[in-house]
Amino acid sequence: MDINHLLIHAFRPLISAFWWLIPLFIIIAILKSSFMKGVIGELQVNLAAKLFLDKHIYTLFKNVTLTTEDGTTQIDHIIVSRYGVFVIETKNMKGWIFGSPQQKTWTQKIYRHTSKFQNPLHQNYKHTQTLQTTLELAPNKVFSVVVFVGDSTFKTAMPDNVVYAGGYIRFIKNKAQPILSDGEVLAICTRLQSGRLKPSIRTHIAHVKHVKTIVEEKQRQDDSVCPKCGNPMILRTTRSVDNRGKQFWGCSGFPKCRTVRQIA
């Protein structure tokens, strides 16, 4: 009997007794994935819209993928009404959130762990621009809204269109002045329905691939620019005795800027 058979024979009682742990661990891993966090966040926004917005006044579109000049853009939610078109970006995050409208990246802090993520207002800006072009709408008729769900806390002052889950309903209802006619609302809904790509796994995968390409290209550009002063990074060689000949990226603004980046 070889070692594999011995191991199977030894662990068979444990496997028989605790087999249910395997699917449990799989389910937990799926629920903790970024994809499922996004899905759960969107479900919360959907539920709030269905419960608190009159469907005869507000029309909800979910997961709208539109073509752009350089590929596609995917919008979590679009709500169309006489009071304007609301473009909603959902973020399912926890911890402390730091950011301002002008910053390129915001900060998430969970205990001692700190990470950066793209400013969601900038992210949603492309969505609103695409929608304005597609629907031929004036900027004052399209509203950007960023909704945070999950156990997160804003640690810096946020503009009124960056809200927690329930706050986006209040933001929408605060727009009480009609700016679109019933005919315009119907035309917008028709164009959205006919102009969007068919919601499917294939559409989602193609869009994710497109986004990944953009992120990789942006990363390459960021690596060639000093994160502190914006000057180009240039390849330098260490002259110290201990690391003589070792190369690294150094800011071209040296000695005014002494930012360095080690070569992996």
Residue type at 212?
K
Cβ pair 213, 207 in contact under 8 A: no
Q: What is the pTM of this model?
A: 0.67
Q: What is the pLDDT of residues 98-126, one digit of tens each?
A: 999 999 899 999 988 999 999 999 989 98
- Nearest CA-CA partner of 77 in 53, 55, 49: 49
Residue type at 110?
I
Q: For residues 37 and 43, give the distance between their C-alpha atoms in angstroms, rounded to a whole number.
A: 10
Q: What is the pLDDT of residues 23-79, one digit of tens each?
A: 655 655 544 555 555 456 567 787 888 899 999 999 999 888 888 777 788 898 999
DSSP 161: T
Residue type at 104?
K
Burial class (CB in 10 A: 0-12, 13-18, 19+), 149: buried
Q: For residues 21 and 60, give the distance between their C-alpha atoms in angstroms, rounded to a whole number.
A: 39
Q: What is the pLDDT of residues 192-220, one digit of tens each?
A: 988 888 765 665 565 456 546 545 555 66
Other Cβ atoms less than 10 A from the Cβ of 79: the count is 22
**Residue for token digits 């007794």?**
17
Q: What is the structure's pLDDT at 57?
A: 95
